[in-house]
Amino acid sequence: MTIGRIISGQPLSDQEESFNQSLRPKLLSECIGQHNVREKLSIAIEAAKKRQEPLEHILFYGPPGLGKTTLANVVANEMEAKVRCTSGPALAKAGDIMGLLSNINTGDVLFIDEIHRLSTPVEEFIYPAMEDFKVDYTVDSGLHAKTINFPLKRFTLIGATTRAGLLSAPLRSRFGMMYHLDFYTVDDLTQIVARSAKMLNLQYEPGTLELIAACSRGTPRVANRLLKRVRDYAQVKGSGVLSTKIVESSLKMERIDKLGLDELDRAVLRALVDVYEGGPAGIEAIAATLGEERDTLEDVVEPYLLQIGFLRRTKRGREITQQACEHLGLKVQKKKPPDSEMELF
Ligand code: ADP
């Protein structure tokens, strides 16, 4: 159900990934929004350059599609360094990362996406690499096994995660800088869509980009994806120019409402009302009710619903808010507790 979901923060295909890459800002000055993070990064980069030292290790965390990979590449560009990219699930054993580390040059960036999914042996293997720029690598096995102490060049590890909470304390403590990426404002997203529209040579009427931005749930990847959908729609159903009517019809066809909620968001909220009397309900239970992955709900659906005040997270589970009920025209009906006498039978 989630795979083709237009408002998912995750890239949907290789084709989309290359589309994303073409729109990715290359330098800090080209990035939009995240002012606080950009300012801190720019100071750290300037200071490291003045000292002619590699940057400290950096961790970017926040929901998918907010620009963690983009910033990792921007940092490498600003440091005029090479970047090597990998991801937590791709590094199953120490040997997988050894190849990357041994080829790395001074100042280069090693980017590990989904770093919370590193296996324990790999995680433990990279501790000395991050701290002392050396690794203990075991070759052969059994009687012939020997450990080689392998010195590494001073590099910068940039990790990205949607779940900083899942990172072990020893790994977290080895990052010199940790930046949380927030959802973008509609103004920022409008600028991002305007930049992409310019790069794609799109013509648009005033106010149309704001409409797309408002439905992008604070996420640049979603904004660019919606722009692409609207562009297709405008080319097939209109003259290619984005007009208010074209944008509205296209979003309606994608079943995205004015706040950027799609079928899955609405299904989560509806399940809370219909099945769990408004909650509290555990995320696992909601996922099972909808036949969805728990991770999808936690990574993509929940952060935005929490942000706009449609969901409350309590110790006992998730609850729907009055605001969400009003938006969807839902009414929570608490079932009466059973009569105590009836309970006897
Ligand atoms: P993440 O790694 O957090 O999932 P990405 O870095 O892949 O997110 O960003 C997704 C897309 O959003 C990129 O392709 C890029 O076009 C756009 N984007 C992200 N951050 C910005 C930004 N600050 N300014 C402009 N566009 C951005």
> Does the pLDDT at position 340 exceed 60?
no
Token digits of residue 184: 């973008």
User: What ligand 1 atom has the least distance to the C-alpha of 184?
Assistant: 23
Which residues lie across from 180 on neighbouring strands?
61
Q: Annotated catalytic sites, by residue?
A: 68-69, 113, 162, 221
CATH class, 34-180 region: alpha beta
pLDDT at 342: 54
CATH code, residues 263-328: 1.10.10.10
Q: Which atom of ligand 1 has the smallest separation from the CA of 71?
A: 6
CA R_g for the chain = 24
Q: pLDDT confidence of 341, banded at 50, 70, 90?
A: low
Q: Where are the domains of the chain?
A: 34-180, 263-328
225 lines ligand 1 (CB under 6 A): no
CA–centroid distance, 300 to ligand 1, in Å, is 15
Q: Is 216 in the pocket of ligand 1 (CB under 6 A)?
A: no
Question: What is each CA distance from 140 to 91, 146, 218, in whole angstroms?
Answer: 19, 7, 50
Return the percentage of the chain with pLDDT > 70, whole number.
Answer: 91
Say whether pLDDT at 190 is over 90: yes
Taking alpha carbons only, the member of 170, 62, 125 closest to residue 72 is 62
* Whether residue 143 has pLDDT greater than 90: no
Residue 32 CB–ligand 1 contact under 6 Å:
yes
Mean pLDDT of the chain: 92
pLDDT band at 338 (very low <50, low <70, confident <90, very high): low
61-87 pLDDT tens trace: 999 999 999 999 999 999 999 999 999
Nearest to 220 by CA among 70, 104, 108, 330: 70
Gap between the Cα atoms of 66 and 183, Å rounded: 7
Ligand 1 site, residue 279, Cβ cutoff 6 A: no
For residue 246, what are its two tokens? 């074209």
pLDDT of residue 1: 45
Is the shortest distance between the CB of 135 and ligand 1 below 6 Å? no
The atom number, within ligand 1, closest to the CA of 21 reads 14
**What pLDDT, on the 0 to 100 scale, is given for residue 253?**
95
pLDDT on residue 337? 66
